[in-house]
Structure 1
Amino acid sequence: MTQEHRGGRAQRVDLTNCAAEPIHIPGRIQPHGALLALSPGDLAVRHVSLNVGALLGSGPEGLLGRPLVDFLAAAEGGDRESALRAPDPAAMNPLKVRRRDGGATAAWLDAIVHRAGERLIVELEPAASPGDVSFSSVYRAIRAAIERIQSAEGLVEACSATAEEIRRLTGYDRVMIYRFDRDWNGEVIAEARAADIEPYLGLRYPAADIPPQARELYLRSWLRIIPDVGYQPSDIVPEADAPIDLSFSVLRSVSPMHIQYLKNMGVGASMSVSLIREGVLWGLIACHHRAARPLSFEIRQGCELCGRFLSLQLAAKEKLEDRGRRQELRALAEEVVATVSRREDLMVGLAESAGALMQLADASGVALFHGDAVSPLGLSPAPGELRRLHAWIRRHVGDRPVFHTESLARVAPSLAGLKDVASGVLCLSIPEPDPWYVVWFRPEVIQTVSWGGNPEKPVPTLFHVRDNGVGIPADERHRLFTIFERLSTAARYGEGTGSGLAIAQRIIERHRGKIWAESPPGGGTTFYFTLAEAPRADA
């Protein structure tokens, strides 16, 4: 996401600079709640989101400078001020509050509080009604989920259980467990979904989909949610001298590029929960819904708890799978040792253990070299090729205990012709005056990777330009790009033919791009447009 600069300056957002975007300081929020930034000493409002009037009945001008306790009343028996002044106010979330001037009929709000440097951040959301959610119902769902995750016999089973339980808890159309590889590409390793949507299980997504600073933020904050992908962001006013850090904000606005990415996937609401193993971001629980879908604080906390519990189980489940494999390998090794010990000739003993030897390395063939003797077993290169391989091993491996490569052709181009049976090679040497070599082979595998996003394909550049005007009513926006149309009189807002936006649209479309506008009432208009690398051939 790009930090918002007001005043109409264009903001370029693309793959060349997304890794430098200050996504933690957007200066805007999602409008399903309101944000207030307080000075911690007097608890006075210093900054507030423009949409605050929808929840508190008073706009920023009526709240700035006033102590929070002047206009928010706590639930009976609640000590709002003590909670706000606590060393870790987030531990008390959510505080149940309502408008002081609304009387007994005022709607209850969830106040979600955290510290951000020298500021105290208070985010307000409509509280769930008792009929929608209760602590006991969420507790029962989370307890069932934890029991399933804990009893799973391996990693994939634990991930599948988590996806199914979170889908049951949230009602989302799709819940995926997404695992990063060492290059930060992601793979969907488990999925729970509605029956009428296509599966994403097994798809991979390039590292560029989640840039480094986003992954860093995921390490700091466990859960992110976008209840309505089509939202119009609300600015925080007045602009702060030092940007307000929204790393831990549940309302933090997200990048227009990410929003467009979700829209392109047909997503109407999304949520993600981090999976962290031993301080490293291991993956994500990614949730999508085809329509807007708000979730209560209680349900979000339940999902976060599931993510935290699965994170604790990751190492244990992987070790459980590893333990089973180690036990299998130990049994195979014991079988080889038992067979060899019954023979005086090592070559004969190893040859009789060919099946177990190949299973030890999950290999399709193995060869035994000693002096000039060669014993090929299973699927192995031809005798002449084996002699060339033996000569190469003696020169380049020598008496090293272990040598391995997944591509023999890469380290020994002269042996590239062996790839059909010996692309992957594992070599163990047994040092003697004339060393033994036990060499395992695997054939070349042309791997097919199902990319959910193409890591090679350039992503269209996204720009946005924002003004501070009066805004455009929703029922008039369809006229914006009609040539010679004006939404105001020349006498009121100056000269113009009404053709500029129509011309801009045609230029952008010839560059395989799109243009659209978003305009919250009274909050100015933001024009977004994308551009591909080159214009169409017919341009």
Structure 2
Amino acid sequence: MDNNHFSNCDQEPIHLCGQIQHFGCLILFDATKNCIGWSENWTETGLPRQSVFLGQSLTKFIDCLAIQHAIDLDQILHDHADSFKRRYVADIYLEQIPYYLSIYPFDNKIYIEIEQHRSQSHQFKNTFFYAKHINDSEDIWKALAENIFTVTDYDRVMIYKFSESGDGQVIAEHVVGDLEPLLGYRYPEFDIPQQARQLYTKIFARVTPDVDAVPVSIWGLEPEKLDLSMTAIRAMSPIHLQYLRNAQVKASGSFSIIINGKLWGLVACQNRLPKYIDLAQRHLSIFIVQYAVNSFLANKHIEENNFKLKTKSVAFEIRQNLFTKKDLYKVISALTTSLMDILRTDGIAFKYLDKWHIVGHAPKKDMLLNLDNHFSRTISDQLFWQSDFKGHQDENETTFPFPGIAGIDLENKLDFKIYFFRKEVKVEETWAGQPEKQLIYDPTKTINFPSPRTSFNAWKKIVEGTAPKWKEREINFLKSLSITIQEACLKKIIEIQALNEKLIEINNVLETFSYTLSHDLKNPLAALQMTAQMIRDRPGLSQEFLGKAGKNMMDAILLMNNMLDKTVDFARSKSYEFEYETVYPERFIENIIDDCSVRFNVQNLQFEKGRILPIDGEKTLVYQLFLNLLGNAIKYSSNKTAPLIGINSQIEEDYVLYKIWDNGIGMSAEETERIFEIFHRLPNAMQFDGSGVGLSIVKRIADRLNAKISVESKLNQGTIFEIRFPIRN
């Protein structure tokens, strides 16, 4: 026997069986609406003998039935030839007996099912009761089982939920008589093979009225050419029928529980004696199941919203507290109770700045260090979770008490990591018979099939070494928590960096002002000194000279006061702000030239004065800018035989362009790139007094005034500075 036999064991083509159950009949038409097949029991339903024959048109077949209400076949079949979209059901009478007639297009064919009408009308008048029972019940699934029992009267109605591993468990049940309850029982995955599960997602109701009834063959089409996936009266697999016999039931019914497009579970019904529930009962049951699903989803949505509110509250506290607490340790410590509640954990351990902190039930320090070392070596992900971690066993080989572990590792980024622990929960599982899959070989199909189980006696199994599984929403919260901590810490770091940068900026500006005071106050101080010396050393000076000297001294003192006031204001406010005003440089340029000529002892200075336009700026800053530029021009041309400096201005687009030039020592092209660096001095300027601060002050002032400054120079020929002051509207 080759391996393909085993690989096909769950692939019995149950939808291609070519047979139906005895309680209905099936008539088939092709896409051109001509009859191509029928079940051999069609005459037993009372169909007129002239209604069914090969090639009979669908229209004539419908006309033979003498249906009281006309059927619009075009509307039913339009655009639905290739896929199942809807099923049209009509009431008909055959030989004065009520029947259901179902029409639906599928697989390029038109299917017609006919089965007898047998349900009680009162069942359909109590839909409000069914809905209210579900709404008022604390257990939706228990109420659903009771409702389905009311509609179908099966001996046993079970709500069967599939697990992630594929097996299933009875989570609710309603039983009558002396049947043994199966609530909590588990069933192995192979009891409901995959091909059956796929069909449950296509057609939501399946019934077997009598496991011993002989199936009915279909004439006209070979079984493998007839897809009965959507046929409600399709015959059941012999394996499934034998399974039901072994379970000592004669009839069964199943209704799909579909949630978010997936098969979540089944309403599984059993009866000790043969039992038929008709199409209307099945449709009502499907409606009640869907109502229960909607109620379940609504409750789940409320639960999810409450969970989100809790998690958002924690995230908000983390973000807020990281800016008010000293460190991450205090923030997490204050939230451990909330974190344990949200994640349903027994303990937390977290490490910050290489120090561990343990809260609640968690491994002791030595075991925790071993765990951390293990995860550091084996897990590279920032986030991880397990529900069956084996841990490190001690000498007595006892089970590790915390198989449920989740962790966030931010050690590389924040020197922080956190573990969440769940204790072991021993679970006693009760299985409906020992879950052992046995295969039998069908030589006619050369395929192995799972053998129907013969024992459904309770078989118990103790599951150890596991903790409650981490739910998807809990994992999502862990991801969100990791991102929140990182973002909050990063934001705090950025804020600190911004404050540091601001502090550095303030210190730099303060430093600049200190140099400004020591550098720029020299001019007015030199003027005061020279004037005072003249008054002291030259007796008999005229009143006119003394008046002019006194005015110059008062102007110098006023200038120094203004500069000192601006420095004090800056120091107090941490940021030197000013309001723009119109500044007229012509008022102080003559004084700057005179003071600098005295200071640098230049006797024969030639000064070319052009047009001096007003500037939008701040008076003291503009004064300091011109003081440094004109002072440098005079100083560095003072050794020339005929020293020359000049100043001129003009309107250029949105700027007032000032040019200041001299015929001094000049500089090379390489030096012009560094000319505004603080403390940088030209190699050919060492014979002149200076500290390399003046032009750095000029650059800072230009930046504060949003002005642009540039320089052109040639070595030993002179320098031209251009300053563009923006014109404010």
Give the deviation of 1:254 after TM superposition: 1.0
Partner amino acid, structure 2, of 1:439:
Y
> Whose RCO is larger (CA < 8 A, sep 6+)?
1
Q: 1:403 to 1:96 in 2, by over 3 A?
A: closer
Match of 1:498 in 2: none
Output the TM-score relative to the length of structure 1: 0.69
SS of the equivalent of 1:302 reads: helix
Match of 2:437 in 1: 458
Q: 1:428 to 1:354 in 2, by over 3 A?
A: same
CA contact (8 A) 2:162 2:168 kept: yes
Give the deviation of 1:42 after TM superposition: 5.4
Match of 1:29 in 2: 20
Give the deviation of 1:223 after TM superposition: 1.2
CA contact (8 A) 1:74 1:95 kept: no
Match of 2:278 in 1: 296
Q: 1:192 to 1:341 in 2, by over 3 A?
A: farther
Partner amino acid, structure 2, of 1:208:
F
Q: Distance in 2 between matches of 1:332 and 1:416?
A: 41
Match of 2:102 in 1: 112
Query: Where does 1:175-324 land on structure 2 (aligned, <5 Å)?
Result: 175-194=157-176, 196-240=178-222, 243-324=225-306
Give the deviation of 1:413 after TM superposition: 8.9
Larger CA deviation: 65-74 vs 227-236: 65-74
Query: Where does 1:101-500 land on structure 2 (aligned, <5 Å)?
Result: 102=95, 106-128=96-118, 132-134=119-121, 137-149=122-134, 157-194=139-176, 196-240=178-222, 243-327=225-309, 347=329, 355-371=337-353, 373-393=355-375, 401-409=382-390, 419-429=399-409, 431=411, 435-452=415-432, 454-455=434-435, 457-459=436-438, 461=440, 463=442
Q: 1:264 to 1:394 in 2, by over 3 A?
A: closer
Match of 1:97 in 2: 92
Partner deviation per Cα, 1:308-365 (whole Å, 9 max, x = no partner) = 3334444333222333444456667889999999976765775576544533432223
Give the number of aligned pairs: 441
Partner amino acid, structure 1, of 2:130:
A
Give the deviation of 1:146 after TM superposition: 3.0
In terms of Rg, which structure is larger?
2
CA contact (8 A) 1:47 1:236 kept: yes
The structure richer in helix per residue is 2
**Percent of residue pairs bearing the same amino acid type:** 26
Partner deviation per Cα, 1:97-142 (whole Å, 9 max, x = no partner) = 344xx5xxx42322222223343222222223xxx522xx343333
Partner amino acid, structure 2, of 1:121:
Y
Q: 1:329 to 1:92 in 2, by over 3 A?
A: closer
Q: 1:347 to 1:242 in 2, by over 3 A?
A: closer
* Aligned with residue 43 of structure 2, among 53, 60, 64: 53
Larger CA deviation: 168-177 vs 347-356: 347-356
Partner deviation per Cα, 1:274-315 (whole Å, 9 max, x = no partner) = 122222222222111121111122111101212333344443
Q: Distance in 1 between matches of 2:409 and 2:109?
A: 64
Q: 1:347 to 1:110 in 2, by over 3 A?
A: closer
Q: 1:418 to 1:331 in 2, by over 3 A?
A: farther
Give the deviation of 1:55 after TM superposition: 2.1
Larger CA deviation: 350-359 vs 412-421: 412-421
Q: Are residues 1:20 and 2:7 paired?
A: no
Partner deviation per Cα, 1:136-182 (whole Å, 9 max, x = no partner) = x34333332234445667xxx22222221111111111222222222
CA RMSD of aligned residues (A): 4.2
Q: Distance in 2 between matches of 1:274 and 1:416?
A: 49
Partner amino acid, structure 2, of 1:144:
F
Gaps of 5+ in 2: 446-450, 455-729
CA contact (8 A) 1:461 1:531 kept: no
Q: 1:459 to 1:393 in 2, by over 3 A?
A: closer
Q: Distance in 2 between matches of 1:29 and 1:464?
A: 24
CA contact (8 A) 1:38 1:120 kept: yes
Q: Distance in 1 between matches of 2:209 and 2:343?
A: 49
Q: 1:173 to 1:339 in 2, by over 3 A?
A: farther
Q: Distance in 2 between matches of 1:312 and 1:415?
A: 53
Give the deviation of 1:372 after TM superposition: 5.3
Match of 1:526 in 2: none
Q: Distance in 2 between matches of 1:242 and 1:19?
A: 17
Partner amino acid, structure 2, of 1:107:
I
Q: 1:242 to 1:188 in 2, by over 3 A?
A: closer
Partner amino acid, structure 1, of 2:124:
Y
SS of the equivalent of 1:192 reads: strand
SS of the equivalent of 1:20 reads: coil
Partner amino acid, structure 2, of 1:124:
I
Give the deviation of 1:260 after TM superposition: 0.8
Partner amino acid, structure 1, of 2:232:
V
CA contact (8 A) 2:389 2:405 kept: yes
CA contact (8 A) 2:159 2:266 kept: yes
SS of the equivalent of 1:449 reads: strand
Q: Distance in 2 between matches of 1:415 and 1:377?
A: 26
CA contact (8 A) 1:205 1:451 kept: yes
* Aligned with residue 78 of structure 1, among 52, 66, 69: 69
Larger CA deviation: 69-78 vs 246-255: 69-78
Gaps of 5+ in 1: 1-13, 467-528, 533-539
